[in-house]
Amino acid sequence: MVANPYRRAQLSDAALLLLARSGLRGVTHRAVDTEAGVPAGTTSNYFADRAALLSALAERVYERLQPDPDVLHRLESLPRNRDTFADYMRDIVRRATDEPTLILALWELRIESTRNAEVAELVTATVQRAFQFDVDYHRASGLPGGEVEVSLLHWAIDGLLMDLLGPPMGSSMTPDRAVELLVDRLVPDDSARVAP
């Protein structure tokens, strides 16, 4: 394997664009070379087979969706209450809608996982690791609620993102207001943790 992190990221990003635009069938080593504008065979030098490429894509999505350190520092300085929890959720929605290609590519991988056991094995580990990171960060941060609330908000925010990035259902509610209400309804006021 060739060890140039910049080129590896460039190829992964090109593959994510293809995945979001054309679905999994559009992601081939040759198509990634073309999308990235690199010589034929470059992608194969970095990702020996399709499994290695797809596994890298799931990792790259989460890598690129990481919060801005300045935003994170500001959020970490706020009181540990539901309002701050809502601010964290708003930041997630903002990052996802600022980079719709990443969310669309991740959805493509997750949908393909329902049909393809190899893709499921590659993607499931990354998705579960990312979720566990969110739960651990939430616990360590002292925000109200626990794993149950993080789970419920993940599911709810995924639905909100689907509406924002796909054909909308037509609600007049703003995403910020939706996030505020979701946190208000799903996170206990007394910060009690509900057992899973």
What is the residue extent of each domain of the chain? 5-62, 67-186
**The pLDDT of residue 184 is above 70:** yes
Q: Which structure tokens are listed for 143? A: 């925000």
Backbone Cα Rg of the chain? 18
Task: Provide the residue type at 35 as one letter.
Answer: E
CATH code matching the domain that covers 67-186, chosen among 3.30.70.3000, 1.10.357.10, 1.10.3210.10, 2.40.170.20:
1.10.357.10
Provide the whole-model pTM. Answer: 0.85
- Average pLDDT of span 89-98: 95
CB atoms within 10 A of CB 36: 19
Contacts of 159 (CB under 8 A, 6+ apart): none
Q: What percent of the chain has pLDDT over 70?
A: 95
pLDDT digits (tens, 9 = 90+) for 37-71: 999 999 999 999 988 898 889 889 999 999 999 99
Superfamily classification of domain 5-62: Homeodomain-like (1.10.10.60)
